[in-house]
Each structure stands twice: as C-alpha cells, then as structure tokens.
Amino acid sequence: MLRRLLPTLIIFTVGFALLLWGLATLQSIFAQERDQAREQMEASRRALRQLAHQALREELGRQLEATRSLIRRAAKDPLLDDERLLLVEGGEQILPRPIRFRAAPGLPAKELYSTLRSPDTNPAPREPGSPWAQRLGLRRRFVDAVTSGDLHGLETAFRDLLTHRASYVISSALDIPYMLALLDLFTALSRPDPTLMRRLLRDGFDLDRGQHMRSLQRSLLLAQGRFSLGDFSFLRDRILALCRAHGVPHHDFSARASAPPRRPLALGPAPPGPALALGGSYYVEPAGARLFGVRVSLPEVVEGISARMRRMGLLSEADSVVLGAGPGEGSPPLPGAVTKSASGAMRLLDDVSLQVRSPRWRALHKSISARFRLKTMLTVSVGLLVLVIVILAASLQHRRHRYLQLKSDFVASVSHELRTPLTSIRLLAETMQRRAGGDPRVGQYPLRILKDVEGLIFLVENILSFNSIDRGRFTLRPSAVPCDELVSDLQEELASATSARVEVRADALDGEAVWGDPELLRLLLANLARNGCLYNNSDPVVLTFHLRRTRGRALLSVTDNGVGIPSREREKIFDEFYRSPDPTGRGVRGSGLGLAMCRRIMKLHGGKIRVARSGPHGTTFELDFPGRSPDA
Ligand code: ADP
C-alpha cells in the first residue's frame, strides 16, 4: 500500500515544499516592497525635515543679523530698549541690562540733594582740596552768581563746573544729586538756556579729543546699581520734572527708569555655535568673547517656515512643521524640545529637532501596512488552500487505492471460487467430447463449452496471477527460457481465444532465449497473443514474434494484424481494470487486467513493455528485457 502511494506522496511533498518555498519567497518580496515604500516615505520626510531645519537656521540668523547694530548701539546707550536684545561680554551680561538696587538703609542721595538744593546751605567738604571739595566750591560760586543776578559770573561758574565735571570723575552717587540740585536751583532762580538743559539732561556733551560727557538721564540709568530703590526713584522723578519743565524728551528714559528690577539671565556657559537659549526664547551666536542674541518667538518662526513651505508646494494645507523632541509623528510641539539640556540653558541649533507632520503620511503608512497585511493574508490563504487541496487529493488517492484493492480482492476471491467448478466443467466437457464427439445430436456443443470454459479459466488465472504479483507474493524463479518453446506453447493456448485461423510466426527466434521466470513469461506472451487474436477482425490472425539484441538487451516484439490501438489509449491500456471501448464491434469481454499484469511482469524482470507501433493493420508490443545472458 505504502509502496504504491510512495511516488504520489513524494510528488505531493515535493510540490507542496516548492509551493511553500514560492509562497515564502513571495512573502519576502511583499515585505521588501513594504520596507521600500516605508523607506521612500521616510526619505522624503527626512528631506523636508532638513529643508525646514535649514530654513529655521536662516530665519534665526537673519533676525539676529537685523538686530546686531541695534545691540551694539544699545550696549552703549542705556536709553535704547534692550528688552529683546542679548549681549554677553567676557561672561558678563551687558544686555538686557540687569536692574538691581542697593539695599542701603536711608536715602543718602535724597539727603544730599536736599542739602545742596537750598541756596542757603553751604556744606563743608570732608577732605579739603579733593575734587568733591572743588565741586562744592564751584556750587557756591554758581549759587552766588544766580542769587546776585550776575550773568557773567553765572556763565563763568557754569563753564568751570562743566570743565571740572569733564576733568574729574566723581562718584555718580554724589555727582547726580549734586547736578540735579544745581539745575533745580538754576531753574528756580533763573531761566536756563533750553539747549543747555537738553544737553545736560539728555544729549550729553561732545568734548575735545573725542570724549563725551554723559547726560543725566543716561548717567542715572547706568549708575542704577549705586542707589537704593528709593534714592533712584527720587532722582528719576527729579530728572523727569526737569525734563518736563524744559521740554526735554523723556519718554524712553521714563520707560527704562520705571522698569522693575531685572536679574541677570541664567544663560550658563557660552555654546560653541548658534544655539537657542532659555527654552528657545533667545537665539544666540557666539562671536569671539562675545555672545550676541535676540529674543525670538520660535512657534511663530516655525509657523512661518510651514507657510513658506506650503507656498512652495512642499507641504499641503494640512501639513505643518513642528518642533518635536523625537522622530515620532505625533510628538507635541515645543517647549519640550528646546528646554534646558544637561549643560545648561543652551541648546545647540543643530540639536534642535524639527518634525514635519502630515496626515497623508499617517494615511500612507497605514495603507502600506494594510496592503502588506492583505497580501500576507492572501499568501497564507493560498498556502492553507493548497494544504487543504493536498490533504483532499491524498485522501482521494488513498480512497482510490483502497477501492482498487477491495475491487481486486473481491475479483480475486470470486475468481478463486470459480476456479474449481470451472476445472470440473472443463473435465466434463472434455469427457463429453471424447464420448459423444461423433454423435450428430451432440454436434459442436461440447467443443463450444470447452472453448468458453478455457476462456473463463484463462480469465480466472489471469486475475489470480495478477493479484499475487500485485501483492508481491510471487517468487521469481528465473532461468533461460528458449523463445521458440514459449511461442510453440501458444498455439494450443490460442485455440480457445478465436474461431479464426491463427498463424504464429517466429522470426529470428532459433536458439534464442530470454532470462526470466518461465511461468510468468508464458503468462505474459499468452496475454499478448490472446489480445492479438481477440482484438482482431482478420482471418487468418497472424502473430509474429521477433527477437533482436541491442546494446546487451533483448527486445522481443509481438506483432498482430488486429484493429490497432488509438494513440491516446497507448499508455492507459496498461492501467489496471482499464478497457478501451471495444474496437472490434464483436463485444469482446475482458477484465482490463491483462496488460496491467504484463507491465508488472516486465517490471519484476527489470524490463519494460510498450506499444512500439499501432495502426489499423496491427499492433506491435515491444518487450525490453535487461541484458542478462541466457547462458549465465
Ligand atoms: P482486456 O483484454 O481484458 O480488456 P487488457 O489489459 O488485456 O484487458 O487490454 C486492455 C485494452 O487494450 C483492451 O480492452 C483492448 O481495447 C486494448 N488492447 C489490448 N491489446 C490489444 C491489441 N493487440 N489490439 C488492439 N487492442 C488491444
């Protein structure tokens, strides 16, 4: 059973393995396609990200470049608004200017101002001859000139005062209250020149050799740290009052001087290149020992980049550039991305991550995965389907074999049962033929019975032999069997096969022999010869046996002059139980086992049988025996 199924099983297994290999290859192609599609998508995302990053770099650089000259000016001029600017020099923050006041008890500046404001007081210097003592002397001259209305004396005293102020640097804590008291006195007692006041209060004086004397507005702003908040506020109000009185612009001064205290920014160490500082609120660039910076609105800059990329057709309406911490599509926009790194408040611009968000990528990603899943499902389904088909085919094959086996067993057991009665009938018919052969009343009946019984006995023998060969129960007893003996035995055998005359021709058989089991070889040739007679409408029936040897093999051909076998039937006729539609039209009976058995007999001998030629005038079967010498 297993032996029979083995070729089918091997074919199924190899076919199934090939199919599995094919499906696995297909699946790996699908996986490659998916990876390529994802890689393409990732590459275009990367390119857009790089483009966006480049645009960010350019935009921030442009904003700083546009502000750089303002930074330089604001570093010198405290009246300029430095809110958005950043300048660090040698580690010290210049802009925005830190605003802090002295925590001094009392109000020394206010007191000094009050003392000097009264024309009648005349404070005595602690160190006679010092610049401050000289300054107090000048005040005296000035007050005297104002109170006496001595215009020439006033002019001289004022010029000397300015010259002294340009020549000696006196602490702002003394100088500013001093000057304010003097100017208030001047304003109260006389009518100072507005240009002079404007220069003193706001513009300052350009002196010889490129020197500049600072105005009071600027001096107070620069000397903020020397005063307590109370003193500073007092002096500021005095300056503002004087400005108002003399029509001197003061709005910027007022704004700067009214700003609340401001601590230096926690910038940390300077970065090696362009960076974002303080959670992305400043863009900074180092330049030697200095660090220039400008306050930026990163979300606005990024939104501007999105809009520009949309205009250029690089992004669709639904797409946007966002600041993101990682490569994840859905990561939230800042501030997480541009916060303090371990090294401080700076984050190098190169480390800032920009993401391009696009719903179409998400959709594309999903559709790539969905397509891959679908293809995988199809591959698996095909695999399962093939498995089911293989199982079904195997089971059908098994059933078919089982059915054929049952059929053959049944036929064999029926045949076995028929053997004894048929032998008895043959004996009786022979006896009847012998005893009443000449009686005209009996006629040809005993002979016909004998012929039919012979035919039936041949059929039964055929079936039983086939069964035992098929089951492997036959033990081969090979010997050199002379060919002419085999052929001459047939004459008698064929008498029961046909009523036509039979002419058996032995061609080149003299002295020839084939190596094989004599009983099986006789059965083989009897089947071929009987078929040659049965499927034949000629009279006489001519059967020709011819032997030739080629390349050590013995080729025995059996040729009849029968009706022939259609070419499409030439292989099928060797299948067990297969019978062609009766070609003779005489209703020839048979089992369909004869040629199947012939093929098995040849196989047992290590040889082959085939239809070598066939046509309307006859058929030639060729028996190919392996080259064992008959003398061996
Ligand atoms: P059976 O003769 O019992 O039908 P076989 O296996 O001997 O079974 O033959 C199978 C079929 O081959 C026959 O039914 C017949 O149609 C065809 N056949 C066999 N031998 C010949 C032949 N010599 N000439 C024509 N047809 C043949």
pLDDT of 525 > 90? The answer is yes
pLDDT, tens only, 348-401: 999 888 888 888 888 999 999 999 999 999 999 998 998 898 889 888 988 988
579 CA from centroid of ligand 1 (Å): 6
Averaged pLDDT, 256-283:
91
**Residue 147, token pair as written in the block:** 């109170």
Contacts of 332 (CB under 8 A, 6+ apart): 322, 324
Distance from Cα 570 to the centre of ligand 1, integer Å: 10
pLDDT of res. 203: 94
For residue 55, give both structure tokens.
């645009």
> Looking at ligand 1, which atom is closest to the CA of residue 574?
6
Sheet containing 346-348, strands listed edge to edge, beginning at the edge strand earlier in sequence: 92-95, 85-89, 290-295, 282-287, 275-277, 346-348
Ligand 1 centroid to residue 558 C-alpha, Å? 14
Mean pLDDT of the residues in the chain? 88
Ligand 1: distance of its center to the CA of 568 in Å?
A: 14
With a CB cutoff of 8 Å and minimum separation 6, the contacts of 164 are 131, 134, 135, 138
Identify the DSSP state of 535.
Answer: T
pLDDT digits (tens, 9 = 90+) for 480-522: 999 988 888 887 778 777 788 999 998 878 888 999 999 999 9
Ligand 1 centroid–CA 588 distance in Å is: 9
The H or E element containing residue 466 is: helix 445-470
Whether 332 has a pLDDT exceeding 60, the answer reads no
The structure's pTM equals 0.57
Residue nearest to atom 12 of ligand 1 (CA): 573
Higher pLDDT, 474 or 292: 292
Nearest protein Cα to ligand 1, atom 18: 531
CA of 11 to the centre of ligand 1 (A): 30
pLDDT at 630: 44
Using one digit for the tens of pLDDT, what is the confidence trace for 404-413? 788 778 878 8
The pLDDT tens digits of the residues spanning 207-244 come to 777 788 999 999 999 999 999 999 999 999 999 999 99
Beta strands in 407-552 (DSSP E): 479-482, 502-507, 513-516, 541-550
Distance 305 CA to ligand 1 centre (A): 90
Q: Which ligand 1 atom sits nearest the alpha carbon of residue 579?
A: 14
Integer Cα distance of 396 and 400 in angstroms: 6
Distance 567 CA to ligand 1 centre (A): 13
Q: How many residues does the chain have?
A: 632
Under a CB-based contact definition with an 8 Å cutoff, are residues 383 and 23 in contact? yes
Q: Is the pLDDT of residue 113 over 60?
A: yes
* Nearest C-alpha neighbor of 556 from the set 519, 497, 608: 608
Among 470, 541, 577, 595, residue to substitute to test ligand 1 (most atoms within 8 Å of Cβ) = 595
What atom of ligand 1 comes closest to residue 595's alpha carbon? 6
Looking at ligand 1, which residue's alpha carbon is closest to its atom 16?
Answer: 580
* Rounded percentage of the chain residues whose pLDDT exceeds 90: 55
R_g of the chain, CA atoms, integer Å = 63
Q: How far apart are CA 343 and CA 346, in angstroms?
A: 7
List 624's β-bridge partners, or say none: 555, 608
Residue 631: predicted pLDDT = 45
Half-sphere exposure at residue 515, Cβ-oriented, CA atoms within 13 angstroms: 15
What is the spatial distance between Cα 345 and Cα 339, in angstroms, rounded to a whole number? 7
Question: What pLDDT band is residue 284 in, cutting at 50, 70 and 90?
Answer: very high
Largest CA distance in the chain: 197
**In angstroms, rounded to a whole number, what is the distance separating the alpha carbons of residues 100 and 218?**
16
**Which residue is closest in CA terms to ligand 1's atom 23?**
532
CA 593 to ligand 1: nearest atom: 6
Nearest ligand 1 atom to the CA of 527 is 7
Q: Say how far apart CA 237 and CA 229 lie, in whole Å.
A: 12
Q: Between 600 and 495, whose confidence is greater?
A: 600
Q: Which atom of ligand 1 is nearest to the CA of 532?
A: 23
Residue 5: per-residue pLDDT: 66
CA atoms of 292 and 82, how far apart (whole Å) = 12
Is the per-residue pLDDT at 343 higher than 80?
Answer: no
pLDDT, position 326:
43
Give the end-to-end CA distance of the chain in Å, rounded to a whole number: 35
pLDDT tens-digit readout, 536-555: 999 899 999 999 998 889 99
Task: Please tell me the predicted confidence (pLDDT) of residue 492.
Answer: 74
Find where tokens 């006389």 sit.
Answer: 190
pLDDT at 3: 64
Q: What is the pLDDT of residue 1?
A: 54
Ligand 1 atom nearest residue 582's Cα = 16
Q: What is the pLDDT of residue 346?
A: 86
Provide mean pLDDT across the span 243-259. 95
Specify which residues 542 forms β-bridges with.
503
**Which CATH number, 3.40.50.720, 3.30.565.10, 3.40.50.2300, 1.20.1560.10, labels domain 475-625?**
3.30.565.10
* Residue spans per domain, the chain: 81-91+265-359, 107-257, 475-625
What is the Cα–Cα distance from 264 to 316, expressed in whole angstroms? 43
What gap in Å lies between CA 322 and CA 317, rounded to an integer? 14
CA 401 to ligand 1 center in whole angstroms: 22
Atom of ligand 1 nearest to the CA of 597: 6
Q: Which residues line ligand 1 (CB under 6 A)?
A: 527, 531-532, 535, 560, 562-563, 565, 573, 579-580, 583, 590-596, 619
**Residue located nearest, by CA, to atom 11 of ligand 1:** 579
- Rounded-to-integer distance, Cα 146 and Cα 90, Å: 48
- Give yes or no for a contact between 481 and 623, defined as CB atoms under 8 angstroms apart: no
Nearest CA to ligand 1 atom 2: 590
Token reading at 218: 């600027």
To test the pocket of ligand 1, the residue of 415, 572, 579 to mutate (highest count of ligand atoms within 8 Å of its CB) is 579
534 C-alpha to center of ligand 1: Å? Answer: 8
pLDDT at residue 333, rounded to an integer: 39
432-468: pLDDT as tens digits: 888 887 788 878 888 888 888 888 888 888 888 888 8
Ligand 1 atom nearest residue 462's Cα: 3
Distance 389 CA to ligand 1 centre (A): 34
- Ligand 1 centroid – CA 527 distance (Å): 9
